[in-house]
Structure 1
Amino acid sequence: MPLAFLMSEVWTMDRAFKVLVTVLLNLLTHWEVEGRENLPPGGPLLLVFNHLAWWDAPLAIAALPYQATGIALKDLQRVPVTGQLLGLTSVIWVDRGRYDREALRQALAVLKEGGVLAIAPEGRMSVTDSLERGKPGSVFIARKADVPILPIGLIGTDKVSGEWRSFRRPHLKVVIGKVFRLPEGRKYASRKEERQADADFIMERLAELLPPEYRGVYADSVE
């Protein structure tokens, strides 16, 4: 294969990774996508998703037509395989437990330039296999950038390892919700309270896309 082709925009590292994970998903799982009609043609766009397992990112990459930039903890760079695979994608590395001004600048720049940014509002992989409380800091970008938000519900990724140990192909599902924006005009006692309300609003939109067993602390928010 000519080097010029490999270096062209047609065959970027992101595209190569998308092809790779799609092939692996087709071979190792049964997966489906619901709600493609809700997909906007492009950015600026903020993708938000529930975070259950390592397979969340590959599944979203395979299912969505965007070359999105993700946000990941710098700690993951040292994790064998995971760090190397994330390095093949467009990712912004952030420090755990502190305000990372440079990461925020990069994230806002992606959206300002009309790109697609993906975040997990829970701020980490769930330890309950269901929705945890959204983190105020993780959704600061949503309010600051003021761009459309696309909720993505991921189902079944928490069961991948168990199914493989039983020599079964797991069933995975991606549910694409409708684009929304954060509400305006609400009054709060503090900025922190406002950001938590924003986080809860986003998480409730995710809960609407998930079956009851995945809704966690937001189970009562879905009618």
Structure 2
Amino acid sequence: MIYKFAKNVVSLIFHILFRIKVEGKENVPKKGPVIICSNHISNFDPPLVGITSPRDIHFMAKEELFEKGWLKTLLSHLNAFPVKRGMRDRNALRNGLKRLEEGHTLGLFPEGTRSKNGEVKKGLAGAGFFAMRSNATVIPCAIIGTYEKFSKLKVVYGPPIQFDSLKKEKPSAQEVTDEIMDHIKRLLDENR
């Protein structure tokens, strides 16, 4: 209930501040576990993806955000869960897999941190881990534009990534993440 209310409020604010165009929503499956992987250019990326996705999204958020009681409560109601950055956080990995097993949508920014120049950086292995350890459909997402007031922002959801041939090679989590990042880069290049 709080998620829907927050989504509506943020959507209204973002649509007033930015000219948002969304493409490819039909690529996001209506049911079953889904991982949406996007490039990361701003702190506003999670709410932007959250309001443009046809499904409710569960995001990992840096652990420091959960240190304040009121913020921890709010983030929990918004389906966010903590992750320790800079190290392998087994609890966050288990939590993410559990949410996928329950059929939810997991939102990830594989780069782990914002890109200061807007160029896509190397992704972290976590996205590949979730892709290989779950039966989730992986959807690449590209955020194009800037968050300057009244500027154009475009969000493009690409078709599901097919890992069948890659899985036969028994790739590492990093190799799978690299494949995901290639799809995100292609979406950016094709839609700029």
TM-score range, shorter chain: 0.7 to 0.9
Distance 2:97 2:10 in 1: 27
| Partner SS, residue 22 of structure 1 | helix
- What are structure 2's unaligned runs of at least 5 residues? none
Which of 34, 43, 50 is 1:45 aligned to? 34
- Letter of the 2:48 partner, please give it: L
- What are structure 1's unaligned runs of at least 5 residues? 1-11, 189-193, 215-223
Distance 2:104 2:10 in 1: 22
RMSD across aligned positions (CA):
2.4
Check 1:83–1:131 CA distance in 2 against 1; reply closer, same or farther (3 A cut).
Answer: farther
| Partner SS, residue 168 of structure 2 | coil
Deviation at 1:146, TM superposition (A): 3.2
Instruction: Answer with 203-212 or 147-156: which moved more.
Output: 203-212
Deviation at 1:135, TM superposition (A): 1.2
Deviation at 1:37, TM superposition (A): 2.7
Check 1:73–1:26 CA distance in 2 against 1; reply closer, same or farther (3 A cut).
Answer: same
Instruction: Answer with 105-114 or 37-46: which moved more.
Output: 37-46
Q: Find the counterpart in structure 2 of residue 28 from structure 1.
A: 17
State the TM-score, normalizing by the size of structure 2: 0.88
Which of 156, 159, 168 is 1:175 aligned to? 156
Deviation at 1:143, TM superposition (A): 1.0
Distance 1:96 1:67 in 2: 24
Check 1:103–1:51 CA distance in 2 against 1; reply closer, same or farther (3 A cut).
Answer: same
Q: Percent identity over the alignment? A: 31
- Residue 184 (structure 2) pairs with residue 201 (structure 1): no
Report runs of 4+ in structure 1 exceeding 6 Å deviation. 81-85
Check 1:24–1:82 CA distance in 2 against 1; reply closer, same or farther (3 A cut).
Answer: farther
Would you say how many aligned residue pairs link Structure 1 and Structure 2?
Answer: 189
Distance 2:16 2:71 in 1: 20
| Partner SS, residue 140 of structure 2 | strand
Q: Find the counterpart in structure 2 of residue 116 from structure 1.
A: 105
Alignment check: 8 A CA contact 1:42 1:116 kept: no
Distance 2:20 2:80 in 1: 24
In our comparison, the structure showing a higher alpha carbon Rg is 1
Distance 2:191 2:32 in 1: 32
Deviation at 1:211, TM superposition (A): 3.2
Deviation at 1:128, TM superposition (A): 2.6
Distance 1:115 1:32 in 2: 25
Deviation at 1:121, TM superposition (A): 1.1
State the TM-score, normalizing by the size of structure 1: 0.76
